[in-house]
Amino acid sequence: MKTIYMDNNATTRVAPEVVEAILPFLKENYFNPSSMYGPARDASDAIENARRRIAARLGAEADEILFTSCATESNNAAIRGALKAEPSRRHVITTAVEHPAVLEVVADLERRGFPVTFLPVNRKGEMDVRDFVRALREDTLLVTVMHANNESGVIFPVEDLARIVKETDPSILFHTDATQSTGKLPIDWKGNFRHVDLLSFSGHKLHAPKGVGALVVRRGSRWRPFLIGGHQERSRRAGTENVAFIAGLATALDLALENREEEVARLEAMRDRLERELTARIPWLEVNGQGAARLPNTLNLAVHYIEGEGILYQLDAHGICASSGSACTSGSLEPSHVLRAMKVPFTAVHGSVRFSLSRYNTGEEIDRVIEVFPEIVRNLRKLSPYWDSAKDRPREDAKERLEGTSRS
Amino acid sequence: MGWDYSEKTKKLFMDAVKGVPGTHLGEIEDPDGLGEHGSIACGDALRFTFRVDRHPSDPTKDVIVEARYLTFGCTSAIAASEALCRLIEEKKVTPIEALAIKNQDIVDYVDGLPEQKIHCSVMGAEALQAAVFNWAQKRGVDLGKLGIDILPEEQDEGRMVCKCFGLTEPYIRRKIKELNLRSIPQITNAIKAGGACMTCHHTPGGLQDILDDVWGKEERVVIQSGDFPIRREAAPSASGFSDYQLGKMVEKTIDEEVRPTLHKDGGDIEIVDIKGTMVYARLTGACETCAIGDRTLHFVVERALKEKVDERIRVIAV
């Protein structure tokens, strides 16, 4: 059975071109880029070449790019490095729907006594910029707001938020986690992103391998290194560089941005068709984030009255890989914090399924999902105590039943 | 993470969703016993029904001949429900004998469950118990007289400990003893308590305190937060006016000088916030999409405020 991979917001297949770019540094040029001999020089040149290419793609200067091991490291470094820059300020602004690599770091700060504002989102997953403005304080140290949400795909107006921050007080640092948007949405460090100080992304969401990421640090930003203990990256990120994967990251970003607009249009057309066909075939199906600006590749569905893990399990039986925000798939017992922040009704929050596409997905794969998904939903609804399969709608007494079974 | 299920669990689930003959999906009409457990908010819920062969004279000799379930839940919740029905039908037991079926029997029947899925089997055992009590009521059997502990309606009465899953102290206490739960993770795996916001773990009267009380206190480390938020004094306004006065003057000027002009073009302005001399505003109505909106804010609104209120005022577009 052929695998249909539609979980590209989790990770992506490594592009063959990227593999080609990586291999020489695993096979022949294995030298430590910090060493003095000739061959090591090639390794350090490869890093600098990658740095220049990535900088050029983002409209940044080469010395603004720091290589890290992943976006989680970049986020930790950005936030913790910002704290050290100005100890007299303490207030941090973020959103309730950040990736745990930001949310947990900020929650940790809050436990240590830093005042934190977690901005809410509306039913569509959007932020109200007015809430953001009102949250800004005299002692605000750092704003960290993601560019696009990994679960819902909803895009935040980072350009506007960063501008408002800098017009209010240029010494407030602005960080954005652009892990899901880099390579998909326009990012111009001297253009639309000119007010952003710090930007994180990783390789494995754009067809480079896991284990490499970057933090873009604007020249002159007051930010202190997080990982110390070596002179690498101008002493701003210690540790022997992952030469091979850094070379791969540059190639991956080139590939993503060369044909970005056409690729985005193709992904969006596939995603929209999947969305249209599934909503037409399945009653009581919601599209999370519908009506908001969204990533072109992400479709997050909430299926009422069934549970997501059973959906994933059946999709898996068809070779289809997707993910869910259901409590049973989260490792904890809580359903997705993103969907709860969006106030997705509790009859549907456990039944969420996310399909996220990449350049390797095809129209035939979309057809296949359209073919099997409705039956998977029907199968589980037949088992659901809240669903009337004969009439294909919630049972008449579903509401009372929901209220009557509070005991657990 | 992946699916850490036994082959038996997977088969029970797939058979159930495909409606293979011999599976127990459904609900018995006018059942002799009906029990429900869980809720959709928690992520799983089970509606369990059974039918008995009624004994002509002695209801305690009724034998369960048919069991059915409807389950909202994950793969293992559905497999556990299916297992429960099979166990009961295979055993040909009276409802009272059925009470001997515990969650561990369900776990064994499905060849084991991952630790974090144990609660699925507990749900099955709880629904069975509820159905047996329901049968006893309908058939006029006094379980108390037979020496069977009729559980008090503890859930409605006790102090709420785990607010996320709506679990009370008496219930948690009983389950700790029944299932021999020795740590907070074990409690969470079995009955979900403390699995969401986790604030009930170490608060006074929380899960750790209940555990200590049930099993006796052991030495443990209490982590205390180190420092507290600083309190900042309100900074005096540079213009000599208080922030309140400044805000009032801004609003007055906008009402008198700015709005009338904007209204002429079918537009308006919304003041989002005023922080000191910074005025956060957005144009609305016809002005919202106006190509010169930003310039209007700066040249019309900001200029008027600089003139009439304070020359340091800046208008920031929101």
pLDDT per residue over A320-330, tens digit each? 999 998 766 66
Q: Do B196 and A379 touch (CB under 8 A)?
A: no
| Whole-number pLDDT of residue A84 | 85
| Whole-number pLDDT of residue A407 | 37
Q: Do A384 and B70 touch (CB under 8 A)?
A: yes
| Whole-number pLDDT of residue B226 | 35
Catalytic, out of B42, B162, B200, B287: B42
pLDDT tens-digit readout, A299-358: 999 999 999 999 999 999 999 999 998 766 666 667 899 999 999 988 899 999 999 999
Q: Which of B19, B39, B225 sits opposite A405 (nearest CB)?
A: B39
Q: Which of A138, A346, A379 sits opposite B17 (nearest CB)?
A: A379
Q: Residue A206 CB: number of other CB atoms within 10 A?
A: 24
Catalytic, out of B74, B85, B120, B197: B120
Q: Do B225 and A332 touch (CB under 8 A)?
A: no
* Tokens (6 digits) for A294: 């969204």
Nearest-CA distance B8 → chain A (Å): 15
Q: Which of B18, B166, B280 sits opposite A408 (nearest CB)?
A: B166
Q: Which of B73, B188, B316 sits opposite A168 (nearest CB)?
A: B316
Helix crossing, B118-139 with B75-91: angle to 10°? 40
| Whole-number pLDDT of residue B218 | 54
d(CA A8, CA A24): 27
Best residue of B15, B17, B227 to probe chain A, by most A CBs closer than 10 Å: B17
* Tokens (6 digits) for B133: 């009590």
| Whole-number pLDDT of residue A100 | 94
* Element holding A143 (H helix, E strand): strand A140-144
Chain A residue with Cα closest to B279: A168
Chain B residue with Cα closest to A377: B17
Catalytic, out of A23, A136, A321, A328: A328
Mean pLDDT to the nearest integer, A144-172:
97
Which has the closest alpha carbon to A357: A115, A153, A162, A106? A153
* Tokens (6 digits) for A236: 């701003």
Best residue of B74, B120, B225, B228 to probe chain A, by most A CBs closer than 10 Å: B74
pLDDT tens-digit readout, B87-126: 999 999 999 999 999 889 999 999 999 888 888 888 899 8
| Dihedral over alpha carbons A212, A160, A119, A201 (to 10 degrees) | 0
Chain A residue with Cα closest to B82: A383
d(CA B4, CA A396): 36
Mean pLDDT to the nearest integer, A153-169:
97
Chain A residue with Cα closest to B119: A408
d(CA A245, CA B192): 42
Which has the closest alpha carbon to A310: B280, B82, B29, B308? B82
The residue type found at A91 is H
Q: Do A332 and B196 touch (CB under 8 A)?
A: yes
Query: Where would I find the H helices in A59-128?
Result: 71-85, 100-111
Q: Give the largest Cα separation in chain A, rounded.
A: 78
Q: Do B195 and A333 touch (CB under 8 A)?
A: yes
Extract the residue ranges of chain B whose pLDDT is less than 50.
219-237
pLDDT tens-digit readout, A351-401: 999 999 999 999 999 999 999 999 999 999 999 999 999 999 999 887 666
Chain A residue with Cα closest to B160: A407
| Dihedral over alpha carbons A300, A304, A306, A312 (to 10 degrees) | -10
Q: Do B71 and A383 touch (CB under 8 A)?
A: yes
Q: Do A332 and B3 touch (CB under 8 A)?
A: no
Starting at the edge strand found earlier in the chain, the sheet holding A140-144 runs A65-68, A213-217, A198-202, A173-177, A140-144, A91-95, A116-119
Nearest-CA distance B57 → chain A (Å): 34
Q: Residue B155 CB: number of other CB atoms within 10 A?
A: 16
Chain A CB contacts of B134 under 8 Å are none
Q: Residue A166 CB: number of other CB atoms within 10 A?
A: 17
| Whole-number pLDDT of residue B116 | 81
| Whole-number pLDDT of residue B223 | 35
Catalytic residue list contains A70: no
| Whole-number pLDDT of residue A109 | 94
| Whole-number pLDDT of residue B235 | 44
d(CA A289, CA A152): 6
| Whole-number pLDDT of residue B225 | 35
Nearest-CA distance B36 → chain A (Å): 7
Query: Where would I find the H helices in A282-394?
Result: 308-317, 337-341, 346-349, 363-383
| Whole-number pLDDT of residue B231 | 33
Nearest-CA distance A128 → chain B (Å): 10
Q: Do A328 and B43 touch (CB under 8 A)?
A: yes
Residue that has been written with the tokens 């099955």 in this structure: B124
Question: Which residue would you say has higher pLDDT here, B291 or A18?
Answer: A18
Chain B CB contacts of A168 under 8 Å are 275, 278, 316
Question: Which residues, including other chains, have CB under 8 Å from residue A182's CB and lie 6 or more apart?
Answer: A201, A205, A206, A253, A256
Q: Is the pLDDT of residue A112 over 50?
A: yes
Q: Is the pLDDT of residue A177 over 60?
A: yes
Task: Find the length of chain B.
Answer: 318
Q: Do A346 and B40 touch (CB under 8 A)?
A: yes
* Tokens (6 digits) for B161: 């400990």
- Assess contact for A311 and A282: CB atoms under 8 A: no
Mean pLDDT to the nearest integer, A33-48:
95
Q: Do A385 and B45 touch (CB under 8 A)?
A: yes
Which has the closest alpha carbon to A130: B274, B26, B220? B274
Q: Do A407 and B39 touch (CB under 8 A)?
A: yes
| Whole-number pLDDT of residue A3 | 97
| Whole-number pLDDT of residue B1 | 54
**What ipTM was assigned to the predicted interfaces of this complex?**
0.84
Mean pLDDT to the nearest integer, A233-252:
96
Nearest-CA distance B101 → chain A (Å): 19
Chain B residue with Cα closest to A164: B316
| Whole-number pLDDT of residue A268 | 98
| Whole-number pLDDT of residue B165 | 79
- Assess contact for A67 and A246: CB atoms under 8 A: yes
* Tokens (6 digits) for A36: 């003095």
Chain A residue with Cα closest to B172: A408
| Whole-number pLDDT of residue A321 | 97
Nearest-CA distance B142 → chain A (Å): 24
Nearest-CA distance A393 → chain B (Å): 15
Buried b or exposed e, range A104-115, using 16+ CB within 10 angstroms = ebbeebbeeebb
Cα angle A326, A332, A338 (rounded to 5 degrees) comes to 50
Which has the closest alpha carbon to A313: A323, A305, A303? A323
Q: Do B225 and A385 touch (CB under 8 A)?
A: no
